[in-house]
Chains A and B, each alone.
Chain A
Amino acid sequence: DAKTTQPTSMDCAEGRAANLPCNHSTISGNEYVYWYRQIHSQGPQYIIHGLKNNETNEMASLIITEDRKSSTLILPHATLRDTAVYYCIVRVARQVSSGDKIIFGKGTRLHILP
């Protein structure tokens, strides 16, 4: 799986949009971009994923650049409960033979400020 680079930490005011960047300059054509978050002392929570088109769901939006070398996760109206470590991961989906494992980096620690 390709390596990703994320800022170590970010602050965002409550109610504002939180924009979390991720660089994945070595991403392959068949690799998806996944985002998870981990709230303190809990298991990671799936947020969203995409291949090349922008995606939106009830939790967030994912913007992937045209060259796919970077992406941005957008939490439109951040709340205090969004304080967590956010992980950007690139992986090949449906690759049963490889075991399809997720390797976590250090992620971005997002602090939502009241």
Chain B
Amino acid sequence: GAVVSQHPSWVICKSGTSVKIECRSLDFQATTMFWYRQFPKQSLMLMATSNEGSKATYEQGVEKDKFLINHASLTLSTLTVTSAHPEDSSFYICSARLTSGTDTQYFGPGTRLTVL
């Protein structure tokens, strides 16, 4: 149980285009999901907290108009990288918080974004 999926697993796009990444909790409901970004040889950096039915909370330094987050249901959150540039190339990882029992967060497998 407690499986989180991401789609796509990797994507290559041209500079200036927008890319949408989906995060799904497959066997549990998640009122809260989180989005992280990880550059090579670095640790995960939290970008934003996504709450179902409300606006996302962004960490300092993360542009909310560039990284659009939508959490429309208890099992799906999406991250859209708008007008992507090469510096947005990174590994994007989501997590979903189990809202019962242990309250543990489970992570998706990540999405590798490459912007040409």
| Chain A residues with a Cβ under 8 A of chain B | 34, 36, 38, 41-46, 49, 87, 93-94, 96, 99-107
Contacts and interface: CB of A to CB of B under 8 A. Distances in A.
A81 B115 CA distance: 31
A36 B106 CA distance: 10
Interface residues of B, number: 27
Contacts of A45: 107
Given A49-B102, A99-B57, A105-B43, A43 B32 contact: no
Contacts of A107: 43
B46 A101 contact: yes
B93 A43 contact: yes
Given A94-B103, A100-B103, A44 B93 contact: yes
Interface of B: 2, 4, 6, 32, 34, 36, 43-46, 49, 51, 57, 91, 93, 95, 97, 102-110, 112
A41 B110 contact: yes
Nearest to A94: B103
A102 B102 CA distance: 15
Nearest to B34: A101
Nearest to B109: A43
Q: Name the prevailing secondary structure of the A interface residues.
A: loop
Contact of A101 (B6, B49, B103, B106): B49
A38 to B, nearest CB: 8
Q: Which 8 A-B pairs have the closest CB atoms?
A: A43-B107, A99-B49, A93-B103, A104-B44, A44-B107, A104-B43, A43-B110, A43-B109
A34 B93 CA distance: 18
Contact of B46 (A34, A42, A96, A102): A102
B107 A100 contact: no
A102 B110 contact: no
A111 to B, nearest CB: 15
B57 A34 contact: no
A44 B44 contact: yes
A93 B46 CA distance: 18
Contacts of B110: 41-43
